[in-house]
Amino acid sequence: MKRHTLLLAVAVAALLPSALRAQQYTGTSGLIHIPSAEMHHEGDALIGGHYLNQHMMPDTGFIYNGKKYNTFDYYLALTPFRWLELSYTCTERIRSMQGDEITKWSKDRYASVKIRPVEEGKYVPAIAIGCNDIGTSAFNANRTNVQLYFLNAYIAATKHFAFSGNEVGVTLAYRRFYRGYNAKWNGIVGGVTFSPAFFPQGRLMAEYTGNEFLLGVEALLWRHLRLQASVKDFKYLNAGVCLQFNLLGSRYTRDPY
């Protein structure tokens, strides 16, 4: 526990010496493990990867010899319009091992889509709906889909509040996973973010996933390098990195909420 807390503290220190959206492990905007009604900027393209502790994974599909394992994913995400986000994610799965050495990996592939019909206003929160794992590459002999490990749909509302140059974001969402082994994450979820006035390119995050609490930090450095680190239940470390570019040439430091 102390070791992972120290690693997160080191990550925070590394980020502080440098417009931000959270980097979910799917590549879409959100907090850490929960969705939000925020969106990346129109024209944003992201390519990156995430280290995923076994405690972030579904309780099936990512088990070998009766044990869950840590893994990683990588993704490509695009925001073609200010109200639409798309991403494609590959999560690595162990196929075979020899002793403690992994000899073969396979991939679980899926797409995500997020739509924001209501933009945030002075008194109105942004509202978004979305779905993860809407497609898969694995079928049985009858061409029936047999995976969809991450399949879920959600509706989320997010409102930001500014004071003394700082910014606080509040998110409340309802999410439903369609596989019983993910039911622990069903229901109402929520989180809070904080971006300090002295470092608007970074933010702290705290969230409740329906089953556990996560704390995290993220930052956008040198306009293109996005980093995120988090701990689940103060013990299990997750971390991600990606490159972000705006295909329309936009430059930004913080969103005008």
- pLDDT given for residue 7 in this prediction: 42
- pLDDT given for residue 143 in this prediction: 44
Q: What span, in angstroms and rounded, lies between the C-alpha atoms of 86 and 80?
A: 8
In degrees rounded to 5, what are phi and psi of residue 105? -110, 155
Q: Pick from 69, 58, 70, 97: which is nearest to 184 by CA? A: 58
Three-state secondary structure call for residue 136: coil
**CA geometry: angle 219, 222, 228, nearest 5 deg:** 20
**pTM of the full structure:** 0.80
Tens of pLDDT along the chain (257 residues) come to 444 444 444 344 333 333 556 557 888 999 999 999 999 999 999 999 999 998 888 888 788 777 888 889 999 999 999 999 999 999 887 665 556 666 666 778 889 999 999 999 989 999 999 999 886 544 444 444 457 888 899 999 999 999 999 999 999 999 999 888 888 999 999 999 999 999 888 899 999 999 899 999 999 888 889 999 999 888 899 999 999 999 988 765 555 44
Q: What span, in angstroms and rounded, lies between the C-alpha atoms of 234 and 7?
A: 11
- pLDDT given for residue 21 in this prediction: 60
Q: Pick from 186, 192, 239, 177: which is nearest to 209 by CA? A: 186
Q: What span, in angstroms and rounded, lies between the C-alpha atoms of 219 and 208?
A: 21
Q: What span, in angstroms and rounded, lies between the C-alpha atoms of 86 and 41?
A: 12
Task: Classify burial at 3, counting beta carbons within 10 Å of its beta carbon; exposed 0-12, middle 13-18, buried 19 or more.
Answer: exposed
